[in-house]
Chains A and B, each alone.
Chain A
Amino acid sequence: GENVEQHPSTLSVQEGDSAVIKCTYSDSASNYFPWYKQELGKRPQLIIDIRSNVGEKKDQRIAVTLNKTAKHFSLHITETQPEDSAVYFCAASKGHTDKLIFGTGTRLQVFP
Chain B
Amino acid sequence: NAGVTQTPKFRVLKTGQSMTLLCAQDMNHEYMYWYRQDPGMGLRLIHYSVGEGTTAKGEVPDGYNVSRLKKQNFLLGLESAAPSQTSVYFCASTKGLAQYFGPGTRLLVL
Task: Identify the A interface with B (CB < 8 A).
Answer: 6, 9, 32, 34, 42-46, 49, 51, 89, 93, 95-97, 99-105
Contacts and interface: CB of A to CB of B under 8 A. Distances in A.
Contact of A32 (B41, B50, B97): B97
- Interface bin, chain B: 20 to 34
A99 B46 CA distance: 11
Contact of A43 (B31, B33, B90): B90
Interface majority SS on B: helix, strand, loop or mixed? loop
Interface stretch (B61-69, B79-87, B100-108): B100-108
A43 B103 contact: yes
Contact of B48 (A42, A44, A99): A99
A49 to B, nearest CB: 6
A46 B96 contact: no
Contacts of B48: 99
A34 B97 contact: yes
